[in-house]
Chains A and B, each alone.
Chain A
Amino acid sequence: MSARRHPSEERLLAFEAGTLSAPEAVVVATHLALQPQTRAWTHLARAVGGAVLEEQEPSPLKAGALESILARLDDAEPRPDLVVTRPRNTDTSLPAPLRGFELGPWRWAGPGVHVRNVLGPRDGDCRVILLRIASGQSAPRHTHNGVELTCVIEGAYATQDGVFEPGDFEEADPSVLHQPRVVSDTPCLCVAALDGQIVLPGRLGKILAPFVRL
């Protein structure tokens, strides 16, 4: 059986329920932006959220709440720009969810591998990075503490589970050591939620390890 290329149903439900950690949610949102057919699940999850809201036993608002809201309506005229979130970076090649965050500088992380941080979403040690890996190269070695989600933005990589192409989502199993290799002619750009540290290769890596957190 080929591995799945989209987030599990329970992860998509958690995304819509707002209970995913921020780094995980960023990778899921990137996948949804690139793979609209997965939105069938998020549409469903949202509809279920609406049904759950309907089923609530009403908890009355404070006396006078309606009056105070009505008094505020006049200075709350609809503003068309409210829906628009201003992009925080100028990389127009990135999917929409990633444009809402500032980006750190590209850093070298081994032969053919560059990494930059997506600033903001963080949950303990788990954070979001962009990885750019040259054709024919492998992803950098890294320690792996828990959740690790990846979504391909450009190019393609292959693991023992097959080829992952733009929009494909992978949830790495911590018990399996997998070495993704870039199989596209162009570099492969991925977004990943990473819990753990990237280990720089060779002696230089050992020397730098205490100082560099990738």
Chain B
Amino acid sequence: MAPIRHDGTSLSVAKQNLPVGLVAIHPPGRLRRIRVMHATRPAPVQRGAAVLVSQPPRDFSALIALVAQAKDRAAFAEIFGYYGPRIKALLIKSGSAPAMAEELAQEAMLTVWRKAASYDPARASVSAWIYTIARNLRSDALRRGSSALYAFDSTFGAEAPAQPDAIVSGAQDDACVRAAMRSLNPDQAQAIEMAFYQEQTHSQISQALGVPLGTVKARIRFGMMKLRAFIERETGGRA
């Protein structure tokens, strides 16, 4: 009798999906482990991997302070090594040609060097700050005239009255934001994430997913409300 997998289907069925090479070269015990991995639902495996990848290996806020105060090139190289390739990846996913994405990613890192002194950890996480730098460069490259639009908020509201809620202090905490993202249902998380791939307007998302525009908007709206409630609850609990 064929062994039963976690999901109840028999191993002989799963065998057809295995790469031939694996079946040929691995001894039965090893093969079985691989099969079990294949049999595991892919989502938790990917999620575990994504969490590993996404944990910033260093305190980037401290590295940016080193760049700002001491023009520390080693600190800059570390920021560059981590964020440069991620900016490029995000830009490519947003529709930029690889050469353009490369150029903008380099330009974004140069901007990080120039503007390091203006980074205020009390206002935004490092990733959110670097994200806005890349976004503004890209919008400028597309001649959307956005530098004028976003300039008024380049201090992240430092000139504005204090926010009455906990959202600002919570939103500067990367771990809290990522935990909030994981609390969303997959439809909401997907719609929100796709909204950031910059050529994905809401109607394009609607077409790509094959769901009505109103549904996409509702997923984004309720997802955002859930994120805000989650972060405010977390931050309120800690304060």
Q: Which of A's residues lie within 8 Å of B, judged by CB?
A: 8-10, 12-14, 16-19, 22, 25-26, 29, 32-33, 36-37, 39-62, 65-66, 68-70, 72-73, 76-79, 82-85, 88, 95-97, 100-101, 120-121
Contacts and interface: CB of A to CB of B under 8 A. Distances in A.
Interface in B153-174: 153-154, 156-157, 160-161, 163-165, 167-168, 171-172, 174
Interface stretch (B1-9, B16-24, B36-44, B99-107): B99-107
Nearest to A96: B152
A101 B105 CA distance: 28
Contact of A48 (B126, B168, B172, B181): B181
Contact of B146 (A14, A18, A51): A18
A191 to B, nearest CB: 12
Interface of B: 50, 53-54, 56, 71, 73, 76-77, 80-81, 83-90, 92-93, 98, 101-102, 105-106, 109-110, 113-118, 124-132, 134-136, 138-139, 144-154, 156-157, 160-161, 163-165, 167-168, 171-172, 174, 177-178, 181, 192-193, 195-196, 198-202, 216-217, 220-221, 224-225, 227-228, 231
Contacts of B174: 47, 50-51, 54
Contact of B157 (A39, A66, A100, A121): A39
Which one of B101, B117, B151 has the highest number of Cβ atoms from chain A below 10 Å of its Cβ?
A: B151
A36 B161 contact: yes
Contact of A26 (B126, B129, B139, B149): B149
A63 B125 CA distance: 29
Which one of A10, A51, A121 has the highest number of Cβ atoms from chain B below 10 Å of its Cβ?
A: A51
Contacts, number: 235
A61 B50 contact: no
Given A9-B225, A53-B90, A85-B148, A42 B153 contact: yes
Contacts of A25: 144, 146, 149
B56 to A, nearest CB: 7
A10 B202 contact: yes
Contacts of B145: 22, 100-101, 120-121
Contacts of A97: 148-149, 152
B65 to A, nearest CB: 14
B171 A39 contact: no
18 contacts: A17-B196, A18-B135, A19-B198, A19-B200, A19-B201, A40-B228, A42-B153, A44-B167, A44-B171, A46-B128, A52-B131, A58-B85, A59-B92, A66-B80, A68-B106, A73-B73, A85-B151, A100-B147
Which one of A22, A50, A100 has the highest number of Cβ atoms from chain B below 10 Å of its Cβ?
A: A50
A83 B151 contact: yes
Contact of B102 (A29, A36, A62): A62
Contacts of A13: 192, 195, 220, 224
Contacts of B126: 50
Contact of A52 (B110, B153, B196, B225): B196
Nearest to B73: A70
B114 A76 contact: yes
A19 B70 CA distance: 36
Contacts of B115: 78, 82-83
B133 to A, nearest CB: 10
B63 to A, nearest CB: 15
Contact of A83 (B76, B118, B198): B118
Contacts of A46: 124, 128, 131-132, 156, 171
Contacts of B231: 44
B86 A54 contact: yes
A62 B85 CA distance: 10
